Amino acid sequence: MNVLKIAFLSLLLSVVSCDKTAKTATASETKTATVEAPAKFKYWSWMSVGNKKSDSAYTAHFKKLKNNGFDAVLLNTGADPKLLKRLTPIATKEGLEVHAWMFTTNRPGDSIAQQHPEWYMVSRSGKSCFVKEDRPYVGYYQWLSPSHPDARKHILSLVEGLAEVEGVASVHLDYIRYPDVYLPIGLLPKYNLEQEDEMADYDFDYSDASVEKFIALHHKDPRKMKNPAIDIEWKNFRLNEIKSLVNEAYTIVHNHNKKLSAAVFPYPEMADHMVRQRWDKWNVDMVLPMIYYNFYNEELDWIGYATKQGVEDLEGRPTELHTGLYTPKLSNADLKDAIQLAKDNGAAGVAFFDDYSMTEEQFEIIKNSKE
């Protein structure tokens, strides 16, 4: 009888143990599945805004974006925190994240900066971005020197003003670089240019603030170099001027419990070469590389190549990459493929420039690709 009791108790304990194990395994599997579930692929839209439109007009626009699969808007208010404060609750009410898009070192029409000619970048040929006739490429290229302490302080004050707005997810830095020492090859015919080396009119920054700061560090004058393009310290100095400005902005926005995002050139080595911008070394939460393949006379699959290159260069860093697409040059078929190329090559999302120029067919493609 005792033997039978022992056998019965053993069997009962075995069943209970198996049941507990099964429950534990099920809970573990559920937990693992939750952790490994893919992150939501985010859709962004860059858009400029102003005070002329009514709240109801913006509500309708934001509602349209949300209904077509968009998750976030990058609002260019001209770094105006009042306008941002007005529009942020309208967008968030429609279910959209709001990111405060600002022009950073390029500050066209900045009334405060224009009172200080010494704040502006100067080319190797001695032309200042303060002087209208001397600006490189286009009239709105009005670049402030990140080496001038007061210009830097002004830029960072604008960052902080936007970061203080309640409901904003990130401050988004655009034109966070130097002027194009090399234009995208597809744009050269527009300016009747050939750029086979670093041309003096497009090589920046040789302002007093920049040169004096460099001399203090490296004890040589870039204005006196026979070929400054091959001086690695001079190149690295400018990369670090942008990097340190970004890192200061990062600290400011994080002190306000916001994130920092940035619009950047297609992938780090290319950005380094073209505009002194090595974004894989920055303290930044999200980068949106503008992979506008047609600007570079590349084919559609270059979107995948550049996305993958950026993702690999960011490996080990806590920075998300969201591929930027230029919709005016994308056919319906190419738009669909471009989104898929970004997904397949590791992007966390795609950003579209811009929704004002999108066709209804493009909106439908974006919506369907989200589903």
Question: Dihedral sign, CA of 79, 81, 83, 85?
Answer: positive
pLDDT band at 46 (very low <50, low <70, confident <90, very high): very high
Q: What is the distance of C-alpha 19 from the center of its chain?
A: 51
- Predicted pLDDT at 357: 87
pLDDT band at 370 (very low <50, low <70, confident <90, very high): confident
pLDDT band at 311 (very low <50, low <70, confident <90, very high): very high
Cα separation, 209 vs 338, in Å, equals 43
- Predicted pLDDT at 336: 97
Taking the whole predicted model, whether its pTM rises above 0.85 is answered as yes
- For every residue of 270-338, DSSP letters joined together read HHHHHHS--GGGS--SEEEEB--GGGGT--TTHHHHHHHHHHHHTTTSS-EEEEEEEGGG--HHHHHHH
pLDDT band at 16 (very low <50, low <70, confident <90, very high): very low
Q: Are 177 and 277 in contact (CB under 8 A)?
A: yes
- Predicted pLDDT at 6: 36
Q: Are 158 and 86 in contact (CB under 8 A)?
A: no
Estimate the share of the chain in helix, then strand, then coil, as percent rounded to the nearest 5: 50, 15, 35
- Predicted pLDDT at 3: 36
- Predicted pLDDT at 355: 85
Q: pLDDT tens digits, residue range 114-168?
A: 999 999 999 999 999 999 999 999 999 999 999 999 999 999 999 999 999 999 9
Burial 162-171 (b: 16+ CB within 10 A, else e): bbbbeebbbb
Residue 161 exposed, middle or buried by CB count within 10 Å (0-12, 13-18, 19+) = middle
| 27: pLDDT strictly greater than 50 | no
Q: pLDDT tens digits, residue range 175-205?
A: 999 999 999 999 999 999 999 999 999 999 9
Mean pLDDT of 276-291: 98
| 321: pLDDT strictly greater than 60 | yes
Closest Cα to residue 103, out of 45, 155, 25? Answer: 155
Residue 204 exposed, middle or buried by CB count within 10 Å (0-12, 13-18, 19+) = buried
299: which 2 tokens? 């084919």
Burial 286-323 (b: 16+ CB within 10 A, else e): bbbbbbbbbbbebebebbbbbbbbbbebbeeeebbbbb
Cα separation, 134 vs 100, in Å, equals 30
Q: What angle do CA 239, 350, 70 make, to 5 degrees?
A: 130
Q: Are 290 and 275 in contact (CB under 8 A)?
A: no
Query: Count of alpha carbons within 13 Å of 160, Cβ hemisphere only?
Result: 11
Cα separation, 279 vs 121, in Å, equals 21
Rounded mean pLDDT of the chain?
A: 91
| 10: pLDDT strictly greater than 80 | no
Q: pLDDT tens digits, residue range 231-272?
A: 999 999 999 999 999 999 999 999 999 999 999 999 999 999
- Predicted pLDDT at 19: 42
Distances in Å between the Cα of 236 and the Cα atoms of 66, 230, 338 are: 42, 11, 34
Q: pLDDT tens digits, residue range 297-306?
A: 999 999 999 9
Q: pLDDT tens digits, residue range 82-94?
A: 999 999 999 999 9
| 26: pLDDT strictly greater than 50 | no
| 65: pLDDT strictly greater than 50 | yes
